[in-house]
Amino acid sequence: MSTENFWQEEDVGKRIGANLRQFRVNRGISMEALAKQIGVSKLTLIKIEHGEANPTLSVIWKIANGLNIPITTLLSIESEVSIARKKDGLKLISSDDVFIAEPLFRSHNLTELYRGYLQPGGEYVSEAHQPGVMEFITVMSGQLTVEVDGDTYHLEEYDSIRFKGDRLHKYVNPASSLTILHFVISYHNF
């Protein structure tokens, strides 16, 4: 899979663009101001808003953080009753194809639930989220090393960790097999 072909669904880029425009306009934020605030070029934001670009996971995090909204709100994944099937899920893939995150349900501005897959020997560095965000991770299969603020924590199958997500943090798969994660990002402190 090409790292440029980031999304599994064809219309996701258009959905993100429409939602980005709606949130930005509703909050009275100019394209220039948002670009400067989140460190993404104005041209990239224009292409995203027009549905002409599929943003990377890093850019989506920057946009969501800049607008102070959960990623799933930007993706507008919702229904009265939802089933998150692995084969049908939206897949957010890191630019190097090492980490895949599957948002499972819309957050309603409190929590986001994801399934994650980290390739053998893979590393994924997550940018700091908004202040007050907490992350909860459970290793469902394999092993995981999490680095937060220079401290390293090793997790085995079914071990869980909670930490403040508003810091730079890194996930490392030290094993030769795929690591499967369930993680929750909590926005309760907003």
- pLDDT tens per residue across span 157-172: 999 999 999 899 999 9
Q: Are 146 and 165 in contact (CB under 8 A)?
A: no
pLDDT, one tens digit per residue, over 35-91 is 999 999 999 999 999 888 888 888 888 898 888 887 777 776 554 555 666 776 678
Query: 53 near 13, Cβ under 8 Å?
Result: yes
Q: What is the pLDDT of residue 190?
A: 47
CATH number at residue 139: 2.60.120.10
Distances (CA, A) of 67 to 44, 63, 82, 98: 16, 6, 26, 27
Among 50, 75, 100, give the residue marking a domain's end.
75
Residue 131: inside a domain: yes
How many domains does the chain fold into? 2
The answer on 99 and 58 residing in a single domain is no
Same domain, 90 and 66: no
Same domain, 181 and 108: yes
Q: Centre a 10 Å sphere on the Cβ of residue 69 and count the other Cβ atoms it contains.
A: 20
Q: Is residue 64 part of a domain?
A: yes
Q: How far is CA 116 from CA 41, 98, 131, 183, in A?
A: 28, 11, 23, 7
DSSP string, 104-122: EE--TTTEEEEEEEE-TT-
182 pairs with which residues across the strands?
A: 115, 138
pTM: 0.61
CA of 66: how far to CAs of 1, 90, 131, 137, in Å? 29, 22, 11, 24
The answer to whether 136 and 186 have CB atoms below 8 angstroms apart is yes
* Calpha distance 89→104 (Å, rounded): 7
62: left (phi over 0), alpha (psi -120 to 50) or beta: alpha
> Where in the sequence is the domain holding 28, given as residue range(s)?
12-75
pLDDT in the model for residue 7: 39
Could you give the CA distance from residue 83 to residue 105 in angstroms, rounded to a whole number? 8
